[in-house]
Amino acid sequence: MRWQSWAVLLVVLAACGWVVNNGLGARLPLADLRFGNLSEPQTLDPATMTGVPEGRIARALYEGLTYPNLDDLTQPKPGVAQSWTMSKDGKTYTFYLREDAKWSNGASVTADHFLFSWRRVLTPNTGSQYAELLWPIRNARAFNQQLFYRAKGSVTLYKSPSVASPKVVSVNKGVILIREDINQKEIQKRKAPLHDKPGGKPSSTVFVKAKDQVTVLDKQVLGTQSWFKVKTPKGSAVAGEGWIPGDVLAKHSKSIQIKDVKWVEVRTMKAPIQRGWVLQKPLGRLNYNFPNSDKTKAGDAWTLIGLRVKPLTQPLPKGYSPSAVGKRLVFEIELENPTAYWTQITSFYSLSPVYPPLVMKRPRSWVLPKFFVGNGPFRLTHWMINELVRVEKNTHYWDKKNVGVNSIHFMAVNERDTQLSMYLSGDLDVVTSVPLPSVQKLMERKDFYSRLFLATYFYRVNVERPPLNNKYVRQALAYAVDRSSIVKHILRAGQLPASRLVPPGIRGYPIKKDTPGPRFDPKKARALLQKAGYKDPSKIPPISLLYNTDQQHKQVAEALQKMWRKHLGIRVHLVNKEWKTYLDTVKQREYQLARAGWIGDYTDPNTFLSMFITGGGHNRTGWSNVTYDRFIGLASKETNPTKRMEYFRKAEAELMEELPIIPLYFYNYQNLIHPRIKGHVNNPLNNFDFRRFKRANKP
């Protein structure tokens, strides 16, 4: 059914107090709150959802250890955890779960359920794009990126990838090892000197990539040093042959293939810690699949992650009854390094618990209304594809007395014009996207709320697709964009042009005038295109630009299409896809340029910058930069706030030099909230606390 007809039908049926259910004749009572939720949700599984429409529904259906505090996002409220403590070194958090926390079927929520759910997020086969949120946990990243090994038998470690190298140590069967390139899923392009002969002078530069085979033509040993005559990999910047020392080769690659022999640099997991190179063959993978039960065996990779469940013991913390003794309500988390925003992360919807017995029994269909079990303030009752998701108050929720509405309809309405029409006719109570031509008029209304928030609109660039694999082409595109014109003539609602990724508003990380980033400079853009080797831009094949269905996305894409044609002579082909298809296309990297937007998950630069580390679940560009990874890694370990922010600045400068993304503008949100709906708190992330909403009888 077309939404235009649907909107009209709603008006007719509203007087009767019913709406049509999926066009099949069944009827639903009107909800207390009708929320314009843009697209049809991709999923209701918190582990795999990534978009705003899904996240808003998740806030109603699930509750994490903590809950976002809309009055001060840096200080989350207690959720399932009624309290928590942090160790003096900032690395260990202990969360004490509520004794009265229940699932929507009446079962108690325990710490085991969080352990199950977080392990599920980290399991590679789950495919969670938000698994990196848990990487600060001890060994969590290594598990998620499958860097654990077990020695199948006695294994010898060497100082470099050569049997002629001095031995380091032998380890016995069953010893668990971990790859040393924990900060890189793929080895970066690295430079190493290429010599004219063993022990001779450096003559040029060789590029070594782990994904390329280094062809070894000859080998010689001078003293204890092995020298390899190698042929540079195909596609390297320098072609030719030369000699390279084995230990230098080792320093420039954490894993390397010499002919048909794979070498991996590893370290032992437990004391004594030993580091060295080992042949891949005697290494066995640990269990990375999600188990058929919640129990684990000693020696599984699961046991190496810094997550532990403990029973309550005497003396009981404040707030527990005597019967709580022995209940598994203590969840302990050990981090690699102090993480300033950790309690904000624990309120994010991806880290909400799921009900293990149901997920194990129905791994795909558990999200359907007839099976669904959640622990949030509302329970799922109906999901009508491309129409609405209905939730009703969860009578087992621990704080049900303070939940202000009995039911919510999350309406899937893509068209902004239709959303506005439904709002003005009384069929929607909350709208978060309005048509651009109406913005100026709407700003005069008292029920219209607009302000800058922590969100950036940008284009992803697939750096593996020509000609965008050339950074000068990416720079040319970025410098040919007139961002001020876009915000002034198209958006017209107070947005700010963006020449960087991290938006203003994060404490301790202000925008500076000298912040590196692309500004509008057509002359420089044309020079960059020449530098890339394209003297005649007409010879560049048309570049495709992907965006998801939305009037605003279309208008912005059309504006850039004209700018790139006018200033660079580059033709751009626009590709429009529906939300689910768009997400899958970006995930599979089957695009050249793709629209993107990012709302901060918490109030820290890391929520934006950690996206683009090598192997990050939200990178989706194919870009990988060892310098960038290093700065993000240093920031994750730094406890001095000033130094930490400086590392982020250096990382962002690297990002804006390489430009795997093209920043366009900083969002402001545009909410219409009917005066009869009370309880919303404007906040920098435009989050909604559906527990607070109340529907007044009169506006």
- Segment 342-393, tens digit of pLDDT: 999 999 999 999 999 999 999 999 999 999 999 999 999 999 999 999 999 9
Q: Residue 493's pLDDT band (boundaries 50, 70, 90)?
A: confident
Q: Residue 291's pLDDT band (boundaries 50, 70, 90)?
A: low
Q: What is the pLDDT of residue 297?
A: 61
- Greater confidence (467 vs 12) lies with 467
Judge contact between 652 and 671, C-beta under 8 A: no
- Greater confidence (309 vs 153) lies with 309
* Overall average pLDDT of the 645-656 stretch: 95
The boundaries of every CATH 3.40.190.10 domain in the chain are 1-62+385-447+674-699
The boundaries of every CATH 3.10.105.10 domain in the chain are 450-668
Q: Residue 697's pLDDT band (boundaries 50, 70, 90)?
A: confident
Q: Residue 180's pLDDT band (boundaries 50, 70, 90)?
A: confident
* Overall average pLDDT of the 17-39 stretch: 69
pLDDT at residue 44 above 90?
Answer: yes
- Greater confidence (235 vs 242) lies with 242
The domain 1-62+385-447+674-699 is placed in CATH, from the list 3.20.20.70, 1.10.760.10, 3.90.120.10, 3.40.190.10, at 3.40.190.10
Written as one string, the DSSP assignment of 551-598 is HHHHHHHHHHHHHHHHHH---EEEEEE-HHHHHHHHHTT--SEEEEEE
Percent of the chain with pLDDT over 70: 86
Q: Residue 338's pLDDT band (boundaries 50, 70, 90)?
A: very high
Distances (CA, A) of 265 to 160, 184, 191, 253, 262: 8, 13, 18, 9, 10
Pairing status of strand 572-577 against strand 543-548: parallel
Q: What is the pLDDT of residue 210?
A: 40
Judge contact between 61 and 376, C-beta under 8 A: yes
Q: What is the pLDDT of residue 174?
A: 86
The boundaries of every CATH 3.90.76.10 domain in the chain are 73-145+288-353
Q: Which two tokens stand for residue 382?
A: 């109906």
pLDDT at residue 103 above 50?
Answer: yes
Judge contact between 224 and 166, C-beta under 8 A: yes
Q: Which helix (H) or strand (E) holds 512?
A: none
Kindly give the interhelix angle for 471-479 and 522-531, rounded to the nearest 10 degrees: 170
Q: What is the pLDDT of residue 373?
A: 98
Q: Residue 14's pLDDT band (boundaries 50, 70, 90)?
A: very low
The domain 73-145+288-353 is placed in CATH, from the list 2.60.40.10, 3.30.420.40, 3.30.70.260, 3.90.76.10, at 3.90.76.10
Q: Residue 228's pLDDT band (boundaries 50, 70, 90)?
A: confident
* Overall average pLDDT of the 669-678 stretch: 95
Q: What is the pLDDT of residue 212?
A: 45
Which of 159-163, 167-171, 353-357, 506-510 is most confident?
353-357
pLDDT at residue 159 above 70?
Answer: yes
pLDDT at residue 216 above 90?
Answer: no
We find that the CATH architecture of domain 450-668 is Roll (3.10)
- Greater confidence (102 vs 414) lies with 102
- Segment 166-178, tens digit of pLDDT: 788 888 888 889 8
Q: What is the pLDDT of residue 224?
A: 62
Give, in degrees to the nearest 5, the angle at Cα 440 between 436 and 443: 115
* Overall average pLDDT of the 122-139 stretch: 92
* Overall average pLDDT of the 56-85 stretch: 96
Residues near 184 by beta carbon (within 8 Å), at least 6 away in sequence: 254, 614, 615, 624, 626, 629
pLDDT at residue 234 above 60?
Answer: no
Q: What is the pLDDT of residue 471?
A: 94
Q: What is the pLDDT of residue 12?
A: 33
Q: Residue 323's pLDDT band (boundaries 50, 70, 90)?
A: very high
Residue 317, number of CB atoms within 10 A of its CB: 15
Q: What is the pLDDT of residue 362?
A: 95
Q: Residue 207's pLDDT band (boundaries 50, 70, 90)?
A: low
Q: What is the pLDDT of residue 5?
A: 36
Residue 656, number of CB atoms within 10 A of its CB: 19
* Overall average pLDDT of the 520-546 stretch: 94
Mean pLDDT estimate for the chain: 87
Q: Is the alpha carbon torsion for 454, 458, 464, 468 positive or negative?
A: negative
Side chain identity, residue 463: V
Q: What is the pLDDT of residue 186?
A: 35
Helix, strand, coil tally for the chain in percent (to 5): 25, 25, 45
- Segment 545-576, tens digit of pLDDT: 999 998 899 999 999 999 999 999 999 999 99
Judge contact between 376 and 62, C-beta under 8 A: yes
Q: What is the pLDDT of residue 184?
A: 39
Q: Is the alpha carbon torsion for 238, 243, 246, 248 positive or negative?
A: negative
pLDDT at residue 253 above 80?
Answer: no
pLDDT at residue 153 above 60?
Answer: yes
- Segment 432-482, tens digit of pLDDT: 999 988 988 999 999 999 988 999 999 999 999 999 999 999 999 999 999
* Overall average pLDDT of the 422-439 stretch: 93
Q: What is the pLDDT of residue 219?
A: 74
Side chain identity, residue 544: S
